[in-house]
Amino acid sequence: MTKTFFYYQSLPDSMPVEDVAKELHELLMEKSLSGKSKHDFLVALLELSDRQWHTYEPLCEPLKTQIEKVLISEWDGFDFEFAEGSIVVAANLGLVGLFDFISSQNISELSSEVAIEIKEAITELGDNIADPYSGMK
């Protein structure tokens, strides 16, 4: 059964880390099996990354890597909504590999609004991307 955005939106703000990991794993499986659209995947991932952030624990490495692979494979430098969402997910989950990928994009392969968003993210997040909780310390 395909879970909708409303399902993810209705999840409690505070969830045990194991439950968030389970939901993330199921979302990744659904993406690979059903070909869920990249925007549907991203909005669900945004909801889950927010829940993960609220656990105040780092996401486990295998899930980080899987999420990075999907977002990098779906990257389009002219899709502002996807670029903005990917940056938020990278910040919430501490996805260094994804942030490095986004930061290294050639400006000629980006829309102007995506280029501005990336520049602002680099300025804001810079060296702290690995620690989603750096601003709280």
What is the pLDDT at residue 134?
79
Quote the pLDDT of residue 36: 78
| 3-class SS letters over 102-123 | HHCCCHHHCCHHHHHHHHHHHH
Contact of 91 with 129, CB cutoff 8 Å = yes
What's the full length of the chain, in residues?
137
d(CA 98, CA 79) in angstroms, rounded, equals 16
Q: What is the pLDDT of residue 131?
A: 87
Q: In 10 A of CB 116, how many CB atoms?
A: 12
Residue 69 lies in a domain: yes
Average pLDDT in the chain: 93
What local confidence, expressed as pLDDT, does residue 1 receive?
66
Within a domain: 137: no
Residue 3 maps to a domain: no
Q: Tens digit of pLDDT per residue, the chain (137 long)?
A: 678 889 999 999 999 999 999 999 999 999 888 777 999 999 999 999 999 999 999 999 999 999 999 999 999 999 999 999 999 999 999 999 999 999 999 999 999 999 999 999 999 987 889 988 877 76
CA distance to 15, 28, 30, 99, per residue, from 37 (Å): 26, 12, 10, 22
pLDDT of residue 137: 60
Q: Structural domain of residue 77, as residue ranges? A: 10-130
Note whether residue 22 is domain-resident: yes
Within-domain flag for 43: yes
Q: Flag whether 50 is in a domain.
A: yes
Residue 5 lies in a domain: no
The total of structural domains in the chain comes to 1
The answer to whether position 78 is within a domain reads: yes
- Residue 109, pLDDT score: 95
